[in-house]
Amino acid sequence: MALAVAAACLVGLRARRKSNTGPRTAAPSIAIVNATTVDAAVAPRARGCGAGRANASTSGTTRTTRSGRTFHVWGPAAYDDARAYPVVLMFHGWSSKGRSLEGWFKMEDHVDGAAFTVYPDSEGATWDFAGAQDLDFTADVLDAVAGEWCVDRARVLAFGFSYGGRFVHHLGCKRPDLVRAVVAGGGSWDWEKECASPMPVLVIHRTEDPTMRVAGGRDAAARWAKIDGCAADTEVRDAEHGCLAYRGCAAGAVTFCEDKHVDRSWPAGWNHTVREEYRSLAWSWFEELR
What tens digit of pLDDT does each residue of 248-266 get? 998 889 999 999 999 999 9
Q: What is the pTM of this model?
A: 0.85
Domain covering 2-19+34-287 assigned CATH 3.40.1530.20 in the classification? no
Average confidence score pLDDT of the chain: 86
pLDDT at residue 39 in the model: 37
Q: Is the pLDDT of residue 56 over 90?
A: no
Look at residues 204, 206, 156, 152 and name the one whose alpha carbon lies nearest to residue 28. 204
Q: Bridge-partner residues for 243, per DSSP? A: 238, 257
Q: In this structure, are residues 137 and 109 in contact, taking their beta carbons and an 8 Å threshold?
A: no
- First vs last Cα of the chain: how many Å apart? 39
Within 175-246, where are the H helices? 214-227
Look at residues 56, 113, 119, 65 and name the one whose alpha carbon lies nearest to residue 92. 119
Apex 216 CA angle, 250 and 272, nearest 5: 120
Domain map (residue ranges) of the chain: 2-19+34-287
Q: In this structure, are residues 152 and 84 in contact, taking their beta carbons and an 8 Å threshold?
A: yes
**Which DSSP string do the residues of 7-59 spell out, in sequence order?**
HHHHHHHHHHHHHTTSPPPPPP----SS-----GGGSPPPTTTT----GGGGE
Look at residues 198, 284, 215 and name the one whose alpha carbon lies nearest to residue 256. 215
State pLDDT tens for residues 172-205.
999 999 999 999 999 999 878 899 999 999 999 9
Q: Give the rounded distance of the alpha carbon of 24 from its chain centre.
A: 19
pLDDT at residue 245 in the model: 98
Q: In this structure, are residues 67 and 140 in contact, taking their beta carbons and an 8 Å threshold?
A: yes
Q: In this structure, are residues 107 and 116 in contact, taking their beta carbons and an 8 Å threshold?
A: no
Strand 85-91 relative to strand 116-120: parallel, antiparallel, unpaired?
A: parallel
State pLDDT tens for residues 204-237.
999 999 999 999 999 999 999 999 999 999 999 9
Q: How many CB atoms lie within 10 A of CB 52?
A: 7
